[in-house]
Structure formats: structure tokens, C-alpha cells
Amino acid sequence: MAYSDFTLQKLKKDFGLQVDEQRDLFAAVEPVAGSNLLNDTLQETVQLAIAINTEKAQSEMIITPVLLEVRWQAKGQVSLFSGTEFNVDETKGLVGYCDYTLSCSKEQLTINAPVILITEAKNENIKAGLGQCIAGMVAAQQFNQWEGQAIDAIYGAVTTGEIWKFLKLIETVVRGVLYSITANWFYSFTGVDE
């Protein structure tokens, strides 16, 4: 079994998870302006990636620039991995590849604790990626505990590039909220014109 084999129902059963979609994950978070580089990049690539309409195009043209911006905003104090194997517990099926992994470590050679974000790219089907992403989040939570670097929350995102489902795992509760880059919040965040 691998992360991609998990469904939301299986995760609820196997790990006792609860889902709470009634909360805004970012209500208390101050918006951060994107850099000129991100703004210029997304202005050039968002519509192109949406028109090409493949997971690869959306990963390369939207998701990677956004996650690189997160790394830049964190002044290089986090590591970003793309398509890296993250095997945590084979007996529980917490093995496989994560599209993107972000860790609070500057080291880029290996994934180190604490892992703070797991992101999965999906072409047009957010719901299909929820099990895979949340399984990666559970693995990150377990990995951090085993490494003696447990943190309060593990974040996740399942995205088509255009639609982003942000997730937050605290203990056994998963909270989620959906955003669209075609919504006004994204354009005001990035400065990209509609």
C-alpha cells in the first residue's frame, strides 16, 4: 500500500481521523504580498497552464513557483522537495512519493523533521487527491514524532493549480478550506489581473 492507495474513508477508519470543514484555516493570518518575480511568473503562466490542462503543466507553471515563493519568503530556512520518496511506516501503508514536501530544515539532501507541508497535484480532481495528501500528512506527523520534533499542526494542499484545497492536521482532526485562483483573493494576493 502507498499514499496514493488511501481514501478518506480508509484514513478515518485506520487512523481515527475526523474531518471538520467548517473553519477558515487562515482567518487569523495576515496576508503576505507575493514578490514581483512570483507576480510576473504567474501573470505569464496561470492562463497557459490552465489552457494546457495537464498535471505536469500546472505543477511546473503554478504550483512550483508558489512553493518556491514560500521558501523565498522564509529566507531559505525551509527545504522544498519535489517528487521525493517519503517512506515512514510500511506496516501502516505510509510509504510512497509526495509531489511536494516542505520541511523546517535548510538541508536539501534528505527530508528532515519537522515536515510541515505535503502538497499533491491533481489534474481536475481535488477530491481524488485528498486521501493521498492526508495520508502524507499523517506520515509527516508520525515522522516528526519519531524524530523528536513533533509540531502542533501539519499542513497539506491538494491542488489543480487553479483550485487549492488547504488542509490542517492537528492530532486526529483534519480541517480544510477551498480556494480558487480565479477568485478575487488570489488576484489581490499576487497582483495578477483577471
Return d(Cα 72, Cα 117) in angstroms, integer. 15
| Least confident interval from 16-20, 51-55, 160-164, 165-169 | 160-164
SS3 97: strand
How many other C-beta atoms are found inside a 10 Å radius of the C-beta of residue 74? Answer: 14
Task: Provide the pLDDT for residue 182.
Answer: 58
Percent of the chain with pLDDT over 90: 65
Cite the DSSP H helix spans in the chain: 8-15, 36-52, 55-58, 64-73, 126-146, 184-190
Task: Provide the pLDDT for residue 186.
Answer: 46
**Cis preceding linkage at 114, omega within 30:** yes
Residue 180 grid coordinates: 480558487
pTM of the model: 0.89
How many other C-beta atoms are found inside a 10 Å radius of the C-beta of residue 149? Answer: 15
Q: Write down the domain spans for the chain.
A: 3-29+77-182
Length of the chain: 194
pLDDT at residue 74 above 70? yes
Residue 63: phi and psi, rounded to 5, are: -65, -50
Task: Provide the pLDDT for residue 115.
Answer: 95
| Best CA proximity match to 102, nearest among 179, 154, 164, 162 | 154
Which residues on neighbouring strands pair with residue 89, listed in sequence order? Answer: 94
pLDDT at residue 190 above 80? no
| Best CA proximity match to 192, nearest among 69, 51, 70, 39 | 39
Residue 50: pLDDT band (50, 70, 90) is confident
181 near 161, Cβ under 8 Å?
yes
pLDDT at residue 6 above 50? yes
Residue 141: pLDDT band (50, 70, 90) is very high
Q: What is the mean pLDDT of the chain?
A: 88
Residue 10: pLDDT band (50, 70, 90) is very high
**Is pLDDT larger for residue 160 or for residue 93?**
93
Task: Provide the pLDDT for residue 29.
Answer: 82
The string of pLDDT tens digits covering residues 79-105 is: 999 999 999 999 999 999 999 999 999
Residue 193: pLDDT band (50, 70, 90) is very low
Mean pLDDT of 1-14: 94
| Best CA proximity match to 99, nearest among 59, 144, 128 | 59
Task: Provide the pLDDT for residue 191.
Answer: 44
